[in-house]
Amino acid sequence: MTILTRKTYYFEDLELGMEASYQKLVTEGDINAFAEVTGDRNPVHLDPEYAAKTIFKERIAHGMLTASFISAVFAMELPGPGVIYVSQTLNFRAPVKIGQTVTAKVRVVELFPAKRRARFDTICTVDGKVVLEGEAMLMVPSRPA
């Protein structure tokens, strides 16, 4: 797991093209805990016999577990503590399996000074292959006076 800096970037610090990322090895424990917390007990995530009969041939991580790694980048790296999600689109491209490492990456693509909002491209990859992509809009705190 990546050690996060917990630095806050205020809206005034953001520039187009800024990027940050977070890596997480997905474990069976992660999938089980996510199922417990969310109530999503789809057997493709939890039951090896069921999953073996699907197109995936084995258990896969919840798509929203993968998406949550994007939230980790925003909350802890860029912009950091104090940021508020406004919206997020998610396009799932491939499954994530137990034992794979997901890299979640965000990049500033547009700034809206009047409302202190920033639009980001978001992407998650496993071994360089895109497993999730989308776009997020965030409300970013201003520098304290």
Reply yes or no on whether the pLDDT at 4 is more than 70. no
User: What's the rounded mean pLDDT across residues 19-28?
Assistant: 97
- Give per-residue pLDDT as tens, 54-93: 999 999 999 999 999 999 999 999 999 999 999 999 999 9
> Which pTM was predicted?
0.91
pLDDT reading at 47 higher than 60 = yes
Residues 114, 116: Cα–Cα separation, whole Å: 6
Domain coordinates in residue numbering, the chain: 11-139
Could you please state the CATH topology (level 3) that the domain comprising 11-139 is classified under.
Answer: Thiol Ester Dehydrase; Chain A (3.10.129)
DSSP 53-71: TSTTSS-B--HHHHHHHHH
The answer, yes or no, to whether residue 107 has pLDDT greater than 70, is yes
Per-residue DSSP letters for 64-130? HHHHHHHHHHHHHTSS-TT-EEEEEEEEE-S--BTTPEEEEEEEEEEEEGGGTEEEEEEEEEETTEE
Would you call 143 helix, strand, or coil by DSSP? coil
Q: How many CB atoms lie within 10 A of CB 28?
A: 12
Stretch 3-26: mean pLDDT: 87
